Amino acid sequence: MSDMIKKAFEYIDSNRDEMLKLWEELVNLEGKVDEPELVTLVSNRIAKEMDSMGVSNKVIAVGNDKAGTLVGILGGERKGKAVIFGGHMDTVFKKGEFGGENPFKIEDGKAYGPGALDMKGGITIALFVAKALTYAGYDERPIKFIFSGDEENGHKGSIGGKVMIEEGAGGICAFNMETGPINNNLCTSRSTSIRVTANVKGVSAHAGNNFTAGRNAVVEAAHKLLAMEKLTNLDEGTTCNPAIISGGTIVNSVPDTCTVQFDIRVKTHAEQDRVLAAIKEILEKPVVEGTSVEYEVDQSNLVIYFNTDEVKRFFEFVNKSAKKHGFKEFGQTYLGGSSDAGNIVVGGTPAICSFGVRGEWNHTPREYAVVESLFERAKIIAAVVCEMEGVAEL
């Protein structure tokens, strides 16, 4: 083990309490993606931490009523390609959902609270890796942070995805600090999502007196729902989830409106093209005569994350370093959820996703993270970065 890595590990070991303190602060600063004023408070706290580290930082506006993307650079004058840390500051939980003013807690080695796992633990790791490397005398490459304020809704209505592509370009590698699976896998490919809202229109009529005069929007919606559900192709990693349905007003009236919302996930461009064509065919061709459909297709700005040759080489480099320093080797996994790892790869930088704290049940009130993984992941990343000295390309 090199002296630099030893010093980095020593820093992490001696600052465990400080790492936990920052993690707690960030979690207690609650903020759902559609609460930009609260997410901005999280951003401000991270920026304050960056200031104390000598990290030059700025916030890039991404759209009205959106928290911006926080970008920071440590050692911007260094000549090597930057090591990038990506992630997001927003959560899926509205303020107060976990109860109390300070919802973060640790029980039996597990940390709980809104975003403890997804993904304020990952942000904490990224910041303390940079601190540990600075303490150890690392000055090989710039270290760059790109933390989005509107990732959890897929950058809907914003340029957040574009910013991630542009700011993530040109790095030697990127650690996307998303939720780490409990089984110690790292994510090397992800789907993108397609959201569809179908508003079916029919003709209302009295269900007893004028039944045949009606055109039942709920029945038409049912046909659409079943046809859309058949888009699922598990062999190709494609899923279609009819998620929300609402229609009708009173039981003795033929309903003239019905709305269905679908969540679709695809992992290849070929499947994406197939699904988009099928949506048009299904929704524009009525089954119940006299009905019609108005629909909206919302494609996520979190693009498909591919396991490219560059990503594969980066993964091998990480595993070689982890094994060398006594850590368990990582497995690989594909995840159906989207992230900005795909945008970073589009920008030309190989990225590994899910390098944050390990845990389970993100996006649910049961969300928790394994506390010890906060320190373990920080050490692994610090070792990987140190061993990139003199490496031009991964």
With 0-12 / 13-18 / 19 or more C-beta atoms within 10 angstroms meaning exposed / middle / buried, residue 74 is: buried
Name the stretches of the chain with pLDDT < 50: none
Residue 244's identity, in one-letter code, is: I
CA pair distance 197, 175, nearest whole angstrom? 34
The predicted structure's pLDDT at residue 85: 98
DSSP string, 239-266: EEEEEEEEE-S-TTEE--EEEEEEEEEE
Convert 91-126 into a string of H (helix), E (strand) and C (coil). ECCCCCCCCCCCCCEEECCEEECCCHHHHHHHHHHH
CB contact at 8 A, 155 and 298? no
The pLDDT of residue 1 is 79
The pLDDT assigned to 392 comes to: 74
Strand partners for 264 = 194, 240
CA distances from 124 to 34, 86, 118, 261, 359 (A): 22, 12, 12, 36, 15
With 0-12 / 13-18 / 19 or more C-beta atoms within 10 angstroms meaning exposed / middle / buried, residue 186 is buried
Beta strands 83-88 and 143-148 are: parallel
Cα atoms in the Cβ-side hemisphere of radius 13 Å centred on 127 = 31
Lookup: tokens for 121: 């633990």
